[in-house]
Chains A and B, each alone.
Chain A
Amino acid sequence: MASCGSGGGIKFYEFLQFVPGLSQGNGVAADNCYSAWISPVRGKAAVTTGPNSRHLQDDITIAFTGSGGSGVIAVGEMLLRAAARVGFYGLLRKSYGPQIRGGESAAILRLAPQPVAGFADGIDLLVVLDWSHFSRFGDELILGTDTCIIEDAAAGVRPLTVPAAVSILTLDFTGLAGTLGSAHNNIAALGYCGAWLGCSAEQLVASLNHRLQRQDSATLKLAAQVAQAGMGLAAEHPPPLAAPQPGRPEATRWLATGNQLAALGALEAGIRFVAAYPITPASDVLEWLATHIDKTGGRLVQAEDELAAVNMAIGAGYGGVPAMTATSGPGLALMAEAMGLAVASETPLVVLNVMRGGPSTGIPTKSEQGDFNLAVYGLHGDAPHVVLSALSPADCHFTLGWATAIASHYQTLAVVLSDQLLGQSMQVLPAPPAMPFQARLDRAALPPVDGEHYLRYLDTGSGISPMAVPGDPGAMYTADGLEHSIGATPSAGAGDHQQQLSKRQRKLMGLMQSEHWAEGVEQPEARLLILGWGSCYPVALEAQSCLEAAGVPVNVLGVRLLAPLPWEALQAQCAKVSQVLVIEQNHQGQFARYLRGFGLQCHAYHRPGPRLLTALEIQQQVEALVDA
């Protein structure tokens, strides 16, 4: 229902089919649990062929706005949970300022009868609890003339920027809650919207109880009364908008954020040590791990700073225990020196970077893709390492698992780039299949680590050297950030340096055989490829749907393996079309510059956050290119 460009009709793509084939010959552990769940397509890239014709009949986008602390994020989460119980799929993103209380805050919710992986451009229903900070969202919440606004009677003065043509319904959520002795107008709004979506009182109360589980029973009872009063209001004054219809999902569904799914993926793939230093928007990854890793026998340490965090993870990794840390841009910059140490000492290490606006403190609560250069180029010296990007909230699970397996198999650093949009969005998704990856030091296939002739940094055919861990008798060595010989003796010799640099580069070439490097959707007669990474991939798929409706078939590819880049495989994808448009959410077009360095001829469209890239603007870019 939300506007989606000039082409009209709205389309929808399925929850990302993110595992269309298992690893083949790259040595990364895998089993066949995904086989019943995934697209059967196999090949050099995980690309599905055919129309992106999953038309969304009944999607709707609802936004709640108010001041920080007024509970709009809570309403969004509770409504998503209740709507999911009715049968909707959905996706919720949170937009808020840096203030803990009193700033601006918004929850944007897209619901549909089928899985939802990305956001629509416009808003169908805007629920305003407080207008006072609305202008700060001026360019993030796009109101169309067909947007319907429900405002609380106590929301204050409506800004002049609100289009005159929109329909506005004023309802007294505050007064309604007040008559029951509650200050929670947000709960009244929850009841109102929930009733309109077809939620029962029971479903709404279950959502309330889940969210407010630490409150006492009197508070819960009052909240339930306020929600039911809100439901009554919906019966009297429904929104002037047709209610969407839920689906009838059969599969087991989950409700989780990208950050939670990343954390789960890491644990399921075998991470057993986490070093943590809080930073928005990565803290919730660490907080989830803190409350769950103990159950696996693992450990989490809150470090004194990011320098300590990354070095603690390296210490654990050296000890043979799969280890990770999670951070955001400034923290990644602090970790950069030790990331070079992980490369040189060949210590397995996973670093999850949940990107926010930068540089410096930047816009810490909002999304951007500005850390590409830091992740790919930020290490000192010649330091080949792995950089992955998660392609949806749900894909955070898969990508963290893959990163964990890569780090231990290749004894190297794997950086995963997520962002605030992926990490803090909450998604209703089909339950992921069992984790196909496991962290494993591949010791069986390598020369023995015991005996007198143990050579830690032996230059093997694969480039992967036999890694002993403390406790292995007869294989004592000192892991070193100093350049070293094959026997781990410090060396300043040109020959040793050349040999170790080449070995560390060569060992990652095994990744070139993996089909997990990208995901995509191809269409017949496509003449143009939209190429994106990370959270731009769902936007590209949304644009593809809109373009299809406008009669412009395009291919879409989302790159998961950013470095080392499988350049030949990417070239093959690009050769299927006559034009390539690279899209990303940053100011400089960092990914496009990287690709041009390989020799790719491409157009680039990029814009900084926090205003998210929209399908409409990508559609317009594509149409301009096709017309030209």
Chain B
Amino acid sequence: MADMRVELAGLKLANPVLLASGILDSTPGILARMADSGAGALVTKSISLEPRPGYAGPTVAEVAPGTWLNAMGLPNPGLAEFLDEFDLQGGLVPVIPNLVADTPEDFGKLAAGVAGAGAKLAEINLSCPHPRAGWSGLLTAQDPAAAATATAAAAAHLPVIAKLSPDVADIGAIAVACAEAGAAAVSAINTMPALDIDTELERPVLGNAFGGLSGPALLPIGLRCVLKAVRALRDAGHAMPVIGIGGISSGDDAAKYILCGAQAVQVGTSLGGNPERLGEIAAELGGWMERKGYATLDAFRGNALEWLP
């Protein structure tokens, strides 16, 4: 059997297929189910300092087969209740809290909070695709300096993964800025900012109007972004890992990201209605490795990079 173990920012993971933030991760019960499904690690929903109730519905709509538009509005119970309910240090499968804030100071407070509760690694959401006034997600995602400041504030307390948006001119520059600010990794991509209109109702489909697009349509976009980030980091002399996210619904899709140089991957939308699919995707990746004769992930990681123009 192929050895799928991988190291991510000091964490030793049984496999490189992680649960993405925002999908099937709102309660300890469903996280336990995703762990048993075979996740390499579990990224939680985005946690803010204060509770956020989320947006009015409809919050989700399937805009093409398997491709979804969503604007949940980062619903979460706030840091204190989150720490009260979720165990960040125990368990066989590592739990990586995802943090969202509008200022570097708040990113720092959140990072200190989860580090104090035993988290070994956190992901910071720099790229919410549908922020409202005062929410800085999409702005932070656009600006290497802002991304660096937020990263440094959180990285002062524990290793952090900076989660990046696809909706930027040069994701490589932002990845490099995060690396130089002390990020342990970057993850790419968040959902793609998008909109859908109902022609009968003559209004946006979602309660929040704008949402983030996810599902199979995102795979080629995510692959391009990961490849650009990997190349930019390599060219700048950074060994920092990149986590591939976007449109993964099979082991083959996961292999594509690793061939682009990703250290690990995260899966979200394709688990909708089928939570156990996560473990199946990891098993499919293992099957692909065996068929190709790869004993480890390192044996093929980045093989597609030499074809870069």
Partners in one complex: no
